A and B are shown apart, each in its own frame.
Chain A
Amino acid sequence: MPPDEPSRQDDVLIIGAGMAGLSAALHLVERGLKPLVLEADPRFIGGRLASGEEVEVGGWHFRLEHGVHGIWSQYRNLQSMLARHHLRPVFTPSQEELWIYRDSHDTRMASVGSAIRYSIFPAPVHYIQLFLRPRFWWMIDLRDISRMFHVWSLLIMSVGIDPFREDQPMEGLTLGDAVKNWTPAIRAFFIGLARSGFSTHAEEIPLSGFLAFLRFYTILRRDAWAFSYLPEDGGRSVTEPLADKVRELGGEIRLGKKVLRLERGSIWKVYCGEEIFSAKQIILAVDASAASSIIKNSFNETDLYFPRSLANDIIRLWFDCAPKSGPESGMFTGNFVMHNFFWLDRIYASYRKWNKATGGSAIEVHVYGPPDVLQKADVALLAQVITEFYQVYPELRGHLIHQHLQRNAATHTLPSLGSKERHLGIKTRWTNLFCAGDWVRDPMPSFFLERACATGIKAANEVLKTRGLNEWPLVDYLPPESFVGWIEKLMVTGRKRRIAKRNARK
């Protein structure tokens, strides 16, 4: 065979076996197509929801993973897809989230999650419930209360502006700009919330992304904040069964195939190291940085916009006893190097079993940056995290039995919006090349796993459309609660009128 001849030709080729690629593949195989899925990872399927290596602690084996632990109530397309194939696991509903804040004086903590999702006040004023919790008052001071106006203005702004639907990139504006004049505790609270979602610090979070994030996860509905944990690591719970289903229905998934570039002709050629594949249609379903590299290598396009991909570090600590009390997860804000935490023995079945048998506990701590922290040597980072951790949980001092540091590559999407011409959507400027993933430009409001799944379905629909096959309807997201819906309508109408007036004056 000549060196640049494809080894095989497929109808549809999907690059990436993460949530976007697997969702696209499943919706194609269900319509009778036989896509080939190429995954760069040589061992694990699922991208950010893949399982990883095993670690052994005292004879017990635990599978590592990227650090994605569950889903939000608004992940409706993802859940519907899994349920349709009896792959939806029984989740562990989140009970509470703890806010831990440390300033120069001391460390304080308050439970906040359930106040937001089970508030008696309607959205968007449901955060008032936080003030009914005495512990919350302990977290803030008079300065925070006197400057609360700033907070409400940002919240109301997110009700009135839908950056994704209205195509408002707000280029150059970041969350850092918006919270610049806020008081320390409230700023720490919001930055903590944002960092949990965006995995980076406020100065890097685009304001458009943050507003869209608030809209999808909390401001429009109280119940949007309801979170459910997977019963086990993401690979075992979701992506591996999903991949098995794709194979069962006729799809093929090949691991260890890192795509370097594409070539357009009468059919697409896909260069994958020494190997060349070809297909009539391609769905590019890799993370933003990999997509950027493939597109640049293939088309010499340098002016395209790709949302940034972020790295993070995950530290897991095993103890021979459990902490006194406290919720299963939460966020560290203020003077901490750590940002998020999850007590794994309260979430995952295998850890729970271990806890029952040994009385031990295990925590996973996420560190999202800044870069100089992520670049610290393993020993230095672990030492700093463990020292800080003992300040919050002193009762566990001297009970550490195992520690593990995981460096995640830069694959986590920083949601943002580029201009229409530069930011790739599901349909691209190249015929028969479609994109899917949480970085793809699309007016739908969702994020991360749900966005990956929904764009995967939409990309599959584009393929089906060209072949005259039935497309898959997407499940709608829940509408805003009535009070906030009314405010939104008012604000949108007001803005439209103002713009019309301005245009008339011109």
Chain B
Amino acid sequence: MFSFEVGSLLNIAFVLGAGLVVSIMMIWVERRFLGFFSDRLGPNRVGPFGLFQVIADAVKMLTKEDWIPPFSDKFTFVVAPMILPIVMLLSLAVIPFGPGVGVMDLNIGLLWIFAMAGLASYSTMLGGLASNNKFALLGSLRGAGQMISYEVFMGISILGIVILSDSFSLREIVEAQRDGWFVIPQFFGFIVFMVAGMAESHRWPFDLPEGEAEIISGYNTEYSGMKFGLFMIGEYIGMVVMSALIPVLFFGGWLAPFGLEFGNEIFSGLFWMGAKTTFFLLFFVLVRAALVRPRYDQLMSYGWLVMLPLSLVNLLITGAVVLYQAG
């Protein structure tokens, strides 16, 4: 039971703990970095470097009045915010953090993540619908359209990898990159996946379902206290999942670059996986500070007119090359 292999209790505890702690700390990291990017200090009062700000925030959220609007559909209103963190944590389960580190090794790991991402859109949809608020309704309509659309390109963009690695299993995909990271043969796939991933987790600049300049806070306008907190935590776990998935799919996962392996295989793996994930987490923060939110129709036409053809062409070329090489 205490052996350190995929699916052992220790492993599950490690992944769950690390995933949650990183997601929650991301709230602080993001605020701090956004602060630096915009000539401010960011939260720096609670604890050393403001590290305990997250705890203060959590206490604040938990002690806030838990208000369920009388005009809402109460059952759905309560259920909606739970869905997001649950499915996001479930998708964390299949991500290989190192050789032998991970909750489960599913032979359809990639599809599992897509299934979970598909379910995540319910949080947005139901939250907006149950609030019985016009802004929330607009937000959830935007969310539904955006997530369904970008799921399509996201799916197609990684089929190239499936062809190259001959598997849906994330561990096998990592192992298949021993000879070279997939970002080189699958560069366009990487671009599409990256953009679609941001749109899926509706991170800035694709936060149209909650674009505050237009629809106040979109689908979560009526939410307060810990129910809102669940949406927020779910979003940050989603960000961690995306940032861990990009290295796994395109940057060799736990494999050390240029043979820079050191010490124990597991520790080296965890280090490199952690470093790569951190890089993409910070990249997400930078993107938030730098980019502009597009208009909804621009987002959609960009998706269907640029991303879709790009990912299809990428898939076609990858398939052709693989077939040619196979003779």
Q: Do A and B bind each other?
A: no
